[in-house]
Structure 1
Amino acid sequence: MTASLPFRTAGRPLSVPGRRPAPPALVLVAHGSRDPRALTTVRALTHRVRALRPALSVHLGHIELNEPLLPDTLAALGGPYAVLVPLLLGRGYHVGHDIPQMAAAAAVPTRVAGPLGPHPLLAETLHARLREAGWPAAPDGAARRDSAVVLAAAGSRDPGSAADTRRTARLLADRLGVPVLPAYASAAAPTVPAALRALAARGRRRVALASYFTAPGRFAAQCAEAAPWIASAPLGAHEAMARLVLHRYDQSLAAPWASAA
């Protein structure tokens, strides 16, 4: 099983002879926020992951702003190795630089999994949050011709991040049967107001806002305020999000391990 694969340091497996090695710890890596609801949300998601896989050692660390910070979480680990799963929705500076640097500085061997998005489980969560906000269960043809969605994301200067968001928008559009236009709170275009104007110009009179944020925060609130109709809650601790975290963990374990020289 993939969970029994050992990490390797200096070409030697970190395992005890005659004993099946424990699976690597799972560390959820959140960005951190001054909004207290964000910490509550990522803690709830961490608990949900633990509930889905009780035998797994599951921890939480933050890049900034909230405790525990990721370096402190890694320093306190009781196990010999860990897989870090970013609670980030696409590529960007944190995924490509900050988290790997913190992982490299840790005293325990680590592997950094890919970001959560894009993935169909995110589209599933977005759909569920829209339904909670009032999106119809089975809109007829006329309603679909009148409706659209703005997928409101944080934004990044990394072109890979925008590509990941566009992919999620296509997955959600396939699920809903209406146009889904990505828009951004900062660092990328179009803005949420610009996306809303573009859809209105195309005759879409009922436009929902899908909050493409892991947890509540300033950007999520600003985007929701611009919604002309319904606005969904952030992705949060939805059961599909917990399954996606474990999927990224398992993917990371299944990849080949490189031994140190």
Structure 2
Amino acid sequence: MSPESQASEALPSRRRRTPRGGRHRGDESFLLPHGSPVLVLAVPGTARGAGGVPEELARLVELEHTGQPTLVGYLEGDEGNLGALLATLDQQRPDEPGAVVVPLVTGPEHETEQAIRKIVAAAPIRAVAAEPLGPHPLIAEALHDRLADAGLARADRIRMMTMVTAAGGVIVVTPGDAFAVRQAEVSSVLLASRLASPVFTARVDDQAGVQAAAAQLRGSGVQRLAVAPQLIGFEPDARYITAAAEAAGAEHAAPLGAHTALARLAALRYAEALSAALSG
């Protein structure tokens, strides 16, 4: 078999699922051929602090997109530790990665990415670290859904757009540094387009920044504010969500949790990382 055909066989094939009604119609999935590298979701923190959400997302990735088991590894603690997990995996094919590790974070987080790359480099098998889930338009979709779930936005399930919003303005709060906030502005712009309402971005643990965003929104005439957390929910910074909403004098949506859009992104980041590794 030629190197080109080997690479083609190793890459996930793309299939279009049968269209479904509602907000999630038109999903795309990735079928992994036998012997493909294992997809591992890398989770910041410990298994106890994650509350089972990563495992729910792993099942969504399996059922909706890959057709093969998705594993979960944690960066801290002994239970489900990422390094220990990678040490148990076999190298199926010596000429390609044995695992692709997808950071289960919604945007760039330098410390998390550095920790993952260090663990991947020390693994006894050849492993590849993928990019974080965001920025990506699917993050805006997930934020929109959580706002709708909280009664803070109304979703038109036929046109997949929001026609009327319960909140007149939204503050997207995200973990990370100033660079992460700038990256999260991609979600904010797309969310504003979906809601036809102004959307600002702030760091979730920066109460002064959240208050400044709230003041700008109220200065433009917005009466009711909503905070949309761009967090999956188990990140250490998730504890600041309620404080951010209080600082803004706003209601808040739930974290993204085990959302189908995040499962789609995990499969996409896997496919991108594997493609780059095989062609590099």
Provide TM-score, normalisation by structure 1: 0.80
Aligned to 1:181: 200
The partner residue of 2:140 within 107, 123, 144 is 123
Unaligned runs of 5+ in 1: 7-19
Matches within 5 A, 1:1-261: 4-5=9-10, 22-32=35-45, 36=49, 38-53=50-65, 55-65=67-77, 67-80=79-92, 81-134=98-151, 135-137=153-155, 138-140=162-164, 147-156=168-177, 159=179, 161-186=180-205, 191-216=209-234, 217-226=238-247, 228-257=249-278
Amino acid at match of 1:57: P
Contact 2:40 2:71 in 1 (8 A): yes
- Superposition RMSD in Å: 2.8
Secondary structure at the counterpart of residue 106 of structure 2:
coil
The CA distance in 2 between the partners of 1:181 and 1:112, in whole Å, is: 31
Q: Percentage identity across aligned positions?
A: 33
Secondary structure at the counterpart of residue 257 of structure 1:
helix
Amino acid at match of 2:125: V
Residue 122 and residue 102 in structure 1: after superposition, are their counterparts in 2 closer, same or farther (change >3 A)? same
Residue 58 and residue 34 in structure 1: after superposition, are their counterparts in 2 closer, same or farther (change >3 A)? closer
Secondary structure at the counterpart of residue 118 of structure 1:
coil
Amino acid at match of 1:63: L
Please report how far the alpha carbon of residue 215 of structure 1 lies from its aligned counterpart in structure 2 after TM superposition: 1.5
Contact 1:95 1:115 in 2 (8 A): no
Please report how far the alpha carbon of residue 238 of structure 1 lies from its aligned counterpart in structure 2 after TM superposition: 1.0
Question: Number of aligned pairs?
Answer: 239
Amino acid at match of 2:107: G
Provide TM-score, normalisation by structure 2: 0.75
Please report how far the alpha carbon of residue 192 of structure 1 lies from its aligned counterpart in structure 2 after TM superposition: 2.0
Please report how far the alpha carbon of residue 241 of structure 1 lies from its aligned counterpart in structure 2 after TM superposition: 1.2
Which is further off, 52-61 or 126-135? 52-61
Secondary structure at the counterpart of residue 91 of structure 1:
coil
Q: Which portions of structure 1, spanning 4 or more consecutive aligned residues, are displaced by more than 6 angstroms?
A: none
The CA distance in 2 between the partners of 1:59 and 1:35, in whole Å, is: 16
Please report how far the alpha carbon of residue 29 of structure 1 lies from its aligned counterpart in structure 2 after TM superposition: 0.7
Unaligned runs of 5+ in 2: 12-32, 93-97, 156-161
Residue 256 and residue 189 in structure 1: after superposition, are their counterparts in 2 closer, same or farther (change >3 A)? farther
